[in-house]
Amino acid sequence: MSETYDVIVIGSGPGGYVCAIRCAQLGLKTACVEKRETLGGTCLNVGCIPSKAMLQASEKFEEAEHALGGFGVKVSGVELDLKGFMKHKDDVVASNVKGVEFLFKKNKIDWLKGAGKITAKGEVTVGDTAYKTKNIVIATGSDSMPLKGVELDGKKIVDSTGALSLAKVPETMVVIGGGYIGLEMGSVWQRLGTKVTVVEFLDRIVPGMDGEVSKMMQRVLSKQGMDFRLKTKVTAAKKTRKGVSLTVEPAAGGDGETLETDVVLLAIGRRPFTEGLGLEDVGVRLDDRGRVEIDDHYATSVEGIYAIGDVVKGAMLAHKAEEEGVALAELLAGQSGHVNYGAIPGVVYTFPEVASVGRTEEQLKEDGVAYKSGKFPFSANGRARAMNQTDGFVKVLSDKETDRVLGVHIIGPDAGHLIAECAMAMEFGASAEDIARTCHAHPTLSEAVKEAALAVDGRALHM
C-alpha cells in the first residue's frame, strides 16, 4: 500500500519546492515529484542559477581585462580559463540543488523520484506506484519556445540550456530574441570574446520594459559591442561546415539575406510544460496559450487540483512562482494566502542591470492614468562615480492626484537590488513623497532612488 498525502506537488522548481516546504511547515504531509536527478527544476539546474554564475564570472573577467586600470590597479596577462569558468558554474549549481535536498529532509518532505502523472482525482502515479493525496499542485514550469525552421542540435544551434555549456568560446554568435534570456547569455559570451548580434522581431529589445529604459539599454549594449537587427525575423537555419547559415528578412516582409555565424542561440521565450501530466484525461482545462486555467485561488477546473508558476498566467519569473507557492500552501492550510501581482519586480542581469516594478509609462498612457514622473541619473550619484559605473537612471512614476507609486524603472549598477525598496514601497501603498522623505545612507546607489522620488515633485537635490 503506497503512502497517502495531504499534498503532492509535481515539479521541484522554485514554485514547487517552496510550495512543498511551506505546506510541510504548516503541518501538511507533503511529497514532491521530480524526474531530474537533482531538485530545483530548470531555475537551479539550467536556468537562473547557472546563468547568473556565468554572468558574475564573465563580469569579473571583463573587469580584470578592461576596467581595473581605471582604479589604478595594474593587471597584465589576463587569460580565460574556460574549464575553471565552467567549474565555478557547476559548483554553484551543485551547492544550490543540495541545499534544496537538505531542506526537503529537514521538513520531512518525501521526494518521489520520476515523472509524475495525474491518473485520477486525488491520485498521482510515479513509475509503477500510485499515490493518494487530498491535493495536487501542478508546478512543472516551462521550456524553451521553438521556432519553425530553426532546429536545435545542442552544439551549433542551442537554446539557453546549451548556451550554458559551449565547448569553446565562439568567434561569432547570433542571438534570436532580444528578451532577457538572450541578452544575458549573449552578454556572457561577448565578455569572453564572442562577437554577438541580436536579431529581434519587434522594434525594440526587452519589449516588456519601460520604453525609455529599453532605448538606453540598447545604446549601452551597443557601446559594449553588441549589434542589433530589429524588426527582423529568422526564417531558416542551416548548419554548415564552419557554423550556421541563417536566413533573415524584414519582419514586415521583403527580401531576405543570409547571416553566417559560429553559433546560434534561440531565445524567443518560454512555454508552459504540461506534456505527459494527463491533464486532458482528468479534465483540467488549458487556455489558448497552453497554460493551465486557474481561479483566484490557483484552483483548476478539477476539484483538488491546483497550479502555480510558469504553467499558469502571468510573468514567467521564479520569484513569482515562489510567492504563488507560499500563497497556495497557506490557502490549503486554511489561511489567507495572497500575491500582489502589481508589485512583482523583474530584472535583466546584463551590465548594467535593468529592473522594473509596477506599470510602465506606456501602460499608464494606454490606460489613461494621469501620472507624474521623476528621474535621476547615476552620473549624478557619488557612489556610482566612485564605482566608475555612471550609465543609467532611476525613474519613479506616481499617481498625479494621490502621489501613490505606480511604477519604478531602473537601468544602472545593482538595479536588481535597488528595485527591492521600490517593490516594498508599492506593497505598502507608499507615495513618492514617502520614498523621498526616507533617509538613505550616503554614499550609496540607493540615493538615486530617493532623488528620483524627489524629482517627481521637481525638487531633486543633486541635479
- Backbone dihedral region for residue 155 (phi beyond 0: left; psi -120 to 50: alpha; all else: beta): alpha
Same domain (yes/no): 354, 433: yes
Which candidate in 66, 338, 442, 462 is catalytic? 442
- 35 is a domain residue: yes
| Strand ranges inside 203-256, DSSP E | 227-229, 232-239, 244-250
Same domain (yes/no): 447, 360: yes
The pLDDT of residue 3 is: 82
How many CB atoms sit inside 10 A of residue 46's CB? Answer: 20
- 461 is a domain residue: no
Smallest CA-to-CA distance from 271 within 285, 281, 286, 251 is with 286
State the pairing for strand pair 393-399/346-348.
unpaired
Same domain (yes/no): 371, 407: yes
Q: Which three cell numbers stand for residue 447?
A: 540615493
Domain encompassing residue 385: 343-456
Q: Is 409 marked active-site?
A: no
How many CB atoms sit inside 10 A of residue 128's CB? Answer: 6
State the pairing for strand pair 129-138/4-10.
parallel
Burial label for 281, CB within 10 Å (0-12, 13-18, 19+), is exposed
Which one of 268, 300, 322 terminates a domain? 268
Same domain (yes/no): 15, 76: yes
Same domain (yes/no): 261, 182: yes
- 186 is a domain residue: yes
Same domain (yes/no): 380, 421: yes
Per run of 10 residues, the mean pLDDT along the chain (length 463 residues) is 88 98 98 98 97 98 96 96 98 98 98 98 97 98 97 97 97 98 98 98 96 98 98 97 97 93 98 97 97 98 98 98 98 97 98 98 98 98 98 98 98 98 98 98 98 98 96
DSSP 8-state secondary structure symbol assigned to residue 72: T
Same domain (yes/no): 189, 224: yes
Q: Tally the domains of the chain.
A: 3
Place of cell 531576405: 256
- Asked if residue 384 lies in contact with residue 413, where contact means CB atoms within 8 angstroms, the answer is yes
- Label residues 306-340 b or e (16+ Cβ within 10 Å = b): bbbbbbbebebbbbbbbbbbbbbbbbbbeeebebe
Same domain (yes/no): 140, 208: no
Alpha helix positions (H), 38-179:
41-46, 48-62, 82-106
Same domain (yes/no): 125, 170: no
The pLDDT of residue 163 is: 98
Which one of 312, 339, 366 terminates a domain? 339
Neighbour order of strands in the sheet with 172-176: 157-158, 263-266, 172-176, 195-199, 227-229
- 87 is a domain residue: yes
Distance between CA atoms of residues 249 and 199, nearest Å: 10
| Strand ranges inside 184-231, DSSP E | 195-199, 227-229
The pLDDT of residue 377 is: 98
- 150 is a domain residue: no
The pLDDT of residue 421 is: 98
Same domain (yes/no): 99, 161: no
CATH code, domain with 313: 3.50.50.60
Place of cell 506537488: 9
Q: What single-letter amino acid sits at 193?
A: G
Which one of 214, 236, 268 terminates a domain? 268
Same domain (yes/no): 356, 430: yes
Same domain (yes/no): 113, 15: yes
Q: Which three cell numbers stand for residue 33?
A: 515529484
- 238 is a domain residue: yes
The pLDDT of residue 342 is: 97
- Asked if residue 117 lies in contact with residue 277, where contact means CB atoms within 8 angstroms, the answer is yes
CATH code, domain with 452: 3.30.390.30
How far are the Cα atoms of 346, 389, 452 from residue 375, in angstroms, in the given order? 19, 17, 5
3-state secondary structure of 368: coil
